[in-house]
Structure 1
């Protein structure tokens, strides 16, 4: 059976439908526990509550002195307030006494506030007046006191399930008091590039050949998504080579391929799934990347990306990545600095640069212009049947 006469699967699905259909084929992931230092790029499987409050005590936000705000009212450079020094407080070594009227202590950023004090005068506004006194040249500020639990309180749920663990979020998880984190098991994605013309970078390039840039770029994008990549290398354009590569897969949750899914005579990945496997859809109403295909092989979900480099990476960015991570495509609303043409029956993702808060057409929009994805900062989204004139507001996907 050929692709041309196989009407038993959907064709020309929308981008949203493609995302939903791929996500529906992916397995539910079990929870596993990792050390907080090994959590980068993982996804929280359960919400995290604070085990402690932060700050754990009322503390100073500045280096200076801790005092009573009432004792510095009206202080100025010409009429400074005179305060008696009675001690100091530093992080880890708090002052044990109490600050009374006319008194103060030296205090350092992050140090606990002493009893009796309610304000901070920064070191820049102080003049030493002998070894045991200071002159304060402006009123001390209660705003420079960090209240206990001002960031979060013990027992408060701070991080919801489903969060991708970035560096700041890992720092927050550690500050919450968690040494180990519940995370979703990594999706195991087998990656296969195809095509007789595709060779390994570093080899001599013959006329008509291309280096395997898709495999390198897609592997990096999978790692960015927190997936475990199972590299299958490259398979030639023959049904036997493709089937042997697919049958060698063990333990994968998804097979991701590039090439072999368009309209050509030698697009054997498409025909292999149509004839011997299963096809969930073929072709998406988008440009670039229309020939994308979703199917299955002996129970293994297979997503076939186009072989053109830009098409492959754009489809991954707007369809595959959201399905793998469970996070929607992040868009901004910006003003168009140039016009962007629309297509009557496809959503267009045109490469663009952001200049002065506006998006401008990158210019070269061919699917083989891989350099454009490196140099362009965004994809401008033009809906099916729409168009964008200079000055219009438009949805923009950051690259």
Structure 2
């Protein structure tokens, strides 16, 4: 059964288990997916405050201040974080103020310390004080406002924002547990001696990293040899995983036993995707365990994961940019093409080596240009670009 990239994502998503909600402390929230909206418990800033070190005063008193015509104000106190000025700033008066300190009553502008000169009990301004250097209460967000929405991935900046909202713990979706297993007699673990025709198990370690970046709990299984009996034993012994990712054994060859095993003893939703690279990918099940079979070629395996598997696991759509083509990109009549490319500024250029075995291309190129079925692009055309980093 041949499917499109979009259909493959949808079918995989339908097989994944429903995600439970877990409340976790902020220190453990990074990389997780938010399960419910987060509402601000406080306003930020919590008070109108200064954006820099300097003096707070009435802006109208300083409109003519310059190096040629400095303005002198009388210092009447200071305001700092944790200890605000208790009085009110009157005409011709100023208060020393520090970044984040509450703005005193009566003041409406700030002049930075770099534009000031001390003069005993007075302060001399060499430029006007500006209201733009005042941070107003609730200027970032207000108490009761919904700031973070359910479904977003908790990046470091979002975890920091959750803390600023006043949440010590957050509701998140339980991470999916994903098992990774390479197949093939030729697969050897890195560090072991390599003989002619063998390859190191690069797919598994690339997939482990991508799963961790996607916020999943990943487990690496021993590689399975090219034997129906050994493969069946390996699949049957897997416990506790929500989904299994295999690499290799899903094409049309004599020793592609993953495909044969699922056809004969499991379930198969599809076994070809209309894409390049990565056409020989399949989705099925084995005794209730969803199994997604990735191609054995390293580039194909990682590209299929990025454009099909990752969006399904995270619930986030594939993110693309619109850039100008710096070189032509050809299309394919019946497949979506994902050409490796290099981004330079606002343009994207074809990476010369597009072979599915050229693993270094993903490291050096860092992007994929998406060419839908039957389309192509000339120099200067806008194209969709997927960043692989």
Which bracket does the TM-score occupy, shorter chain normalised? over 0.9
TM-fit CA distance, 1:32: 0.7
TM-fit CA distance, 1:356: 3.5
- CA offsets per residue over residues 3-27 of structure 1, 9 Å max, x none? xxxxxxxx22000000011011111
Partner of 1:7: none
TM-fit CA distance, 1:251: 1.5
TM-fit CA distance, 1:358: 1.2
Rounded to whole Å, the distance in 2 between the matches of 1:25 and 1:139 is 64
TM-fit CA distance, 1:237: 0.8
Partner of 1:344: 333
TM score, norm. by length of structure 2: 0.98
Q: 1:234 aligns with which of 223, 243, 260?
A: 223
Rounded to whole Å, the distance in 2 between the matches of 1:75 and 1:226 is 55
Partner of 1:49: 39
Q: 2:352 aligns with which of 352, 355, 363?
A: 363
Partner of 1:210: 199
SS of the residue corresponding to residue 14 of structure 2 reads helix
In the alignment, structure 1 segments of 5+ residues that lack a partner are 1-10
Q: 1:244 aligns with which of 220, 230, 233?
A: 233
Partner of 2:2: 12
Partner of 1:85: 75
TM-fit CA distance, 1:61: 0.4
What is the correspondence of 1:237-316 to structure 2 with a 5 Å cutoff? 237-316=226-305
What is the correspondence of 1:158-197 to structure 2 with a 5 Å cutoff? 158-197=147-186
Greater displacement, 229-238 / 272-281: 229-238
Partner of 1:121: 111
Rounded to whole Å, the distance in 2 between the matches of 1:377 and 1:165 is 23
Aligned residues: 388
SS of the residue corresponding to residue 22 of structure 1 reads helix
| Runs of 4+ residues deviating >6 angstroms | none
Is 1:21 matched with 2:11? yes
SS of the residue corresponding to residue 221 of structure 2 reads strand
TM-fit CA distance, 1:198: 0.3
SS of the residue corresponding to residue 234 of structure 1 reads coil
RMSD after superposition = 0.8
Rounded to whole Å, the distance in 2 between the matches of 1:322 and 1:263 is 27
Q: 1:378 aligns with which of 367, 382, 386?
A: 367
TM-fit CA distance, 1:257: 0.5
In the alignment, structure 2 segments of 5+ residues that lack a partner are none
TM score, norm. by length of structure 1: 0.96
SS of the residue corresponding to residue 251 of structure 1 reads coil
TM-fit CA distance, 1:355: 2.0
SS of the residue corresponding to residue 94 of structure 1 reads coil
SS of the residue corresponding to residue 233 of structure 1 reads coil
Rounded to whole Å, the distance in 1 between the matches of 2:126 and 2:114 is 9
